[in-house]
Amino acid sequence: MKKHNFYAGPSILPQFTIEETAKAVTNFAGTGLSIMEVSHRSKEVVAVMSEAQQLFKELLNIPDGYQVLFLGGGASTQFMMIPFNLLQKKAAYLVTGGWASKAAKEAKLFGEVVEVASSKDANFNYIPKGYTIPSDADYFHITTNNTLYGTEIRTDFDVNMPLVADMSSDIFSRPIDVSKYSLIYGGAQKNLAPAGITFIIVKEDILGKVDRAIPTMLDYRTHIDKESMFNTPPVLPLFAALQTLRWLKNNGGIGAMEKVNIEKAQLLYNEIDRNKLFKGTVSNPEDRSLMNICFVMNEEYAELEKEFLEFATSKGMTGIKGHRSVGGFRASTYNALPKESVEALVAVMKEFESKK
């Protein structure tokens, strides 16, 4: 039976990435050695780093003045590293979910944090609008996609200060205007690579403006100067990330990804809205995520939740159980998930409905 992988992260990767990485585990770049046992200073690994940075810039059309870094520590380390490098007196945060809340919490260790708006009052089921950002903030932080709650910001904001964005779960899912951001970051384990590597796109001219001393490993300038090789990078996830970047380019780039992502999401949202058993958890349809589609049983069918999960699992649907803070179900439809998997899930929902 075919498995359809809807896990939120670590999550589905292109088959190309898996196969090429598997080959490199046994024989990397014709060296006769595993990617897991060669020096990060070798010319073969340096070439991997260089190509990955170049493809990042090419696929996202990153303008001059920005650097692409690949570091360890996950996006959670960036929650601290960003204010360490950028927060002099005050920062503004838009709180749209659990990860945004954690980012704001860490920033409070370094200065004043203004939460310009929050959707916590409704269990983060919408994206706040109509708020005011303090004009004297050192930067404004957003989380573009919320994996737990199924909301997404799909526009590039225009703000009169450095804009910082956590794009862990929707990077490469749609074209973005990088010039509107000063720093974009994310863990790779949702739309790029296995867990273990973190990407950062940083505009160089925002650095070096805080008074505090920054430990060497936590200073972005350290990693820019050493081209992400100040210490040993996570080499295996880096290699896998390069394969995904090649796959993205070979499959038409980010515009092509967005087209398919819209088709996949619309297919599933249409079924959620049509099917008498289910309802979406996001209050405003325009806030619905294209990457993490959350839904629950309608109230009158709530007792069927466990039965549907077991039924769907028996049909090969993997990883659709919703996060404990939301309940219900979550189908993560990242770039690598084929449309056929969404069609299979929709068929399962229709079949289950027909039995009730």
- Which active-site residues does the annotation give? 99, 166, 190
* Number of residues that make up the chain: 356
Measure the CA–CA gap between 294 and 351, rounded to whole angstroms.
Answer: 19
CB 333 within 8 A of CB 291: yes
The 3-state secondary structure of the chain reads CCCEECCCCCCCCCHHHHHHHHHHHHCCCCCCCCHHHCCCCCHHHHHHHHHHHHHHHHHHCCCCCEEEEEECCHHHHHHHHHHHHHCCCEEEEEECCHHHHHHHHHHCCCCEEEEEEECHHHCCCCCCCCCCCCCCCCCEEEECEECCCCEECCCCCCCCCCEEEECCCCCCCCCCCHHHCCEEEEECCCCCCCCCCEEEEEEHHHCCCCCCCCCHHHCHHHHHHCCCCCCCCCHHHHHHHHHHHHHHHHCCHHHHHHHHHHHHHHHHHHHHHHCCCEEECCCCHHHECCCEEEEEECHHHHHHHHHHHHHHHHCCEECCECCCCCCCEEEECCCCCCHHHHHHHHHHHHHHHHCC
- The two structure tokens encoding residue 212: 């505090």
Residue whose C-alpha is closest to residue 150's, from 219, 88, 98:
98
- Number of Cβ within 10 Å of residue 267's Cβ equals 16
209: which residues sit within 8 A by CB, 6+ positions away?
86, 88
CB 119 within 8 A of CB 126: yes
Place of tokens 């993490």: 292
